[in-house]
Structure 1
Amino acid sequence: MQHKTHYDTVSKAIDALRLQGYTTDFNIEENVVACTAGRFAAKDFDIVDVYRYEGNSDPADEAAVYAITSSNGVKGILVTGYGASADISDAELLEKLAKA
């Protein structure tokens, strides 16, 4: 995965990804990535790009913005904490997000 651009803030990354067609909001629910179109295990989606942000003074401000495409073609965005603030218990899902 090669980054084309790095955006200054999480909100700028989200705005730019929405203009590229990543319009669905993904969330982590019960160890899957979920949206209104369905629920996807780690094997059922691809991470197209990722942008990581670190807080200036507080490690709890760490965030990652993922551009995701699901196995059925849904394009969207997942925003998560990472590092100490990650709250993911599914090992396969966590591994996929960490390697991105």
Structure 2
Amino acid sequence: MSNISYHYATVLKAINELREKGYTEDFNLEENCLTCISGNFNHDEFEISDIYFYEGESNPDDEATVYGIVSTSGVKGILVTGDETTSSPMENKVIEKLLIHRKRK
């Protein structure tokens, strides 16, 4: 079950809190998977454990989401995204999973 936090502290604070919890990898969104030094993970090979959502008070372009992610093989890491709605079609499965998890709360 995801732990979704909506607060207006900094993105750096969320990243630091996740690092303290053992989220050591830095995930990147590429084509149809998440990538990090430990490997590539398709949309069905990871779960989202924590979400920190930030909205820009005056500019919607300031939106950011910090995801704590755990792969099925136990790799724990962080993905920081901006506006997910502008992703390429190749990223849709991963983005869809991220958005579904964010909307659960």
TM-score normalised by length of structure 1? 0.87
Identity of aligned residues (%): 49
Q: Name the structure where helix makes up a greater proportion of residues.
A: 2
- Matched AA of 2:87: D
- Runs ≥4 residues deviating over 3 A: 2-7
Displacement of 1:92 after TM fit?
1.8
Residues 33 and 43 in structure 2, CA contact (< 8 A), matched pair in contact too: yes
Structure-2 change in CA distance of 1:88 and 1:66 (3 Å): farther
Alignment of 1:64-79 (within 5 A): 64-79=65-80
Secondary structure class of the residue paired with 2:3: coil
Question: 1-side partners of 2:12 and 2:24: how far apart?
Answer: 14
Structure-2 change in CA distance of 1:94 and 1:77 (3 Å): same
Superposed CA deviations along residues 55-83 of structure 1, whole A, max 9, x for unmatched, are 12111110100000012111000000135
CA RMSD of aligned residues (A): 1.9
TM-score normalised by length of structure 2? 0.83
Q: Which runs of 5+ in 1 are unaligned?
A: none
Residues 33 and 41 in structure 1, CA contact (< 8 A), matched pair in contact too: yes
Q: Which runs of 5+ in 2 are unaligned?
A: none
Secondary structure class of the residue paired with 2:58: coil
Aligned length: 99
Structure-2 change in CA distance of 1:88 and 1:50 (3 Å): farther
In the alignment, which residue of structure 2 is the partner of 1:53?
Answer: 54
